[in-house]
Structure 1
């Protein structure tokens, strides 16, 4: 039997002690960056060592730090994968307007613009479910307030990124491979912007800033996972629904900026994560994978992580039998879902893996989770 490599999509459950310690941290005067704490760093170092050990014991062959360096103050904090970047980039400030409170924005032909998060089309279809905390659909709230780009962006996260690298590399066994996640330019640029003259200029500014973080991760010999749910998820955040052609043009800007940010990095050390968002909503307004895949495949990455287990997108596995997959691209399909606490039968997981092995060969498949397990799946079950 061939060996199938395994990994996760990033976020893993934090211990209660780690969540409480994060919640006890204080903000700086700007109201959204965290004050450093030696005690918290020590707790974080120990927690990363433990979560790497647990992954190793579970048979994971490409382990991560669980995104522990990205602060979550509660189990329902869905924004840590994104909000960590606010701590590492200058040019941001709280203005009272963000993606949750900004006025509704409307798009038109040839003019794709993102509206607020609470104005998503899926929310309009199911307002009762989204408003009901007992439904399991409500997204929770982030630990960090979301700022606005109010000035020139500049990277200031060298020490924080180096600490992430240090904690993970110290936890790795000899010869063991590890990965760290980082936000992609297109997803980072979804913060409200009052400084740059256009959406495209804003995206490219984030690309220029984040390239330093990316290089610090790959220079350490780790795999870099670029988290970019915006490529697919933003479709639901465009109101009214745009044409596929207009949305592809919108996405093309983001893929071009991503390629600029990773230029010169070892391709085999760069992985792109694509998803439709981790909230447990109906997702009936999700964009089909076929509509976005031609643009996604232009990303100059060595592997592609994507949702392939959730019930809204599992059927799309047949697409990989039809498209011309680049010979050097490794597929990292989600074969274990995160949308419910149901534990899939091992035979089903094996069948899911087999679909992608049949498409590209076992050497080019790394079995993964759909998305992070750190927010909605109970820790015992994750």
Structure 2
């Protein structure tokens, strides 16, 4: 009997035009959009049903509760949390205009987003609007000007209620569903004007975000921790650090996250990392082999990472030498968010099979590299999920 390969995705799915328009209007004046909450709820219910119809095994709300007011948006997974956190103030500085910071041996620091090493190496391409590189529209980011606190209780309960309604209507079990939430390390990449050190700021975020993790898991859902920073930070340090320095820098973020997850059953946690989802060269990305053991330290049952991205597809081989701990599973990206080409089901099956033969088909959930929402056209996103499921069905016949 064939071992069925389960399917999922990284979280964000394309919003409807109606939801994007309503969200944009709410940014100007929430009172001008009567019926928004009902529209959001109905949109989530419809989306979960569409995932069921496609054959997705492990669905979510498409991150619809994380406000996206533009069809192209690379940051909703991240900046949603700032509206749920006290102690922050908008600084007026756009993300790409932050001043550059330089590191010293033994004291590595994040530089500005506009001063990434990949961006410097391909500066002409990054600044050419016709190059095909996409990073999304500029966005203002806040600074911490006082003690931070979680204020998103109402929003997260709304997200929970909406996805539960969708799961029940589509015939999923509540335990099949998940909601995305930000990691302390990624949250702490904004400017800190209050805490005495970067480490203190990260641990403060761990206490804040724990409230969201608890709300999601106590509702019977799985929480997906989104933390591109674990891999992506490497490109954002100038000059390039040693791998040993970077691992020590990252270890603090791992420990803070595990602190935030304390007591939460691992089977209700999955962890996502990537090398940043912008469409660019990525030649300064850190090899996954340099941090995979750190990722496996995180108190989660599942680990989702980019594996269809052409800069990282070859890294499936690290599982020849990396032992997946008992009771854990991997959720590799099998279709990419970074190309409009829809992968053939045979290619999808081949990619799945590589992982399944190394860690066991029961320990593989076929997924997307990153969120599809805000990055590719909805029609193409739908086709990619269709081919993901078709390829998983084909791969299942091979075991």
Matched, 1:295 2:282: no
TM-score normalized with structure 1 length:
0.96
Q: How does 1:1-382 map to 2 (within 5 A)?
A: 1-26=2-27, 38-97=34-93, 99-141=95-137, 145-173=140-168, 174-176=171-173, 177-382=176-381
Show structure 1 runs of 5+ residues with no match: 29-33
- State the shift of 1:319 in Å: 0.3
Partner Cα distance (2:135, 2:200) in 1 = 30
Secondary structure, aligned partner of 1:342: coil
Q: Which has the higher contact order (CA 8 A, sep 6+)?
A: 2
Partner Cα distance (1:337, 1:35) in 2 = 38
- State the shift of 1:95 in Å: 2.2
Contact 2:25 2:33 in 1 (8 A): no
- State the shift of 1:295 in Å: 1.2
Residue in 1 aligned with 2:385?
none
Secondary structure, aligned partner of 1:74: coil
Deviations 1:351-379 (A, max 9, x none): 11111111111111111001000122111
Contact 1:99 1:115 in 2 (8 A): no
Partner Cα distance (2:362, 2:345) in 1 = 21
Deviations 1:210-248 (A, max 9, x none): 001000000111110000000000101101111100000
Partner Cα distance (1:21, 1:98) in 2 = 24
From the superposition, tell whether residues 266 and 363 of structure 1 become closer, same or farther in structure 2 (CA, over 3 Å).
Answer: same
- State the shift of 1:106 in Å: 0.3
- State the shift of 1:323 in Å: 0.9
Contact 2:25 2:32 in 1 (8 A): no
- State the shift of 1:76 in Å: 1.3
Show structure 2 runs of 5+ residues with no match: 382-399
Contact 2:340 2:376 in 1 (8 A): yes
- State the shift of 1:27 in Å: 5.2
Partner Cα distance (1:53, 1:259) in 2 = 33
More helix by share: 2
- State the shift of 1:100 in Å: 2.8
RMSD: 1.5
Secondary structure, aligned partner of 2:97: coil
- State the shift of 1:296 in Å: 1.1
Partner Cα distance (1:53, 1:15) in 2 = 14
Residue in 2 aligned with 1:31?
none
Partner Cα distance (2:343, 2:92) in 1 = 43
Partner Cα distance (1:37, 1:184) in 2 = 31
From the superposition, tell whether residues 251 and 36 of structure 1 become closer, same or farther in structure 2 (CA, over 3 Å).
Answer: farther
Size of the aligned set, in residue pairs, is 376
From the superposition, tell whether residues 133 and 348 of structure 1 become closer, same or farther in structure 2 (CA, over 3 Å).
Answer: same
Secondary structure, aligned partner of 1:63: coil
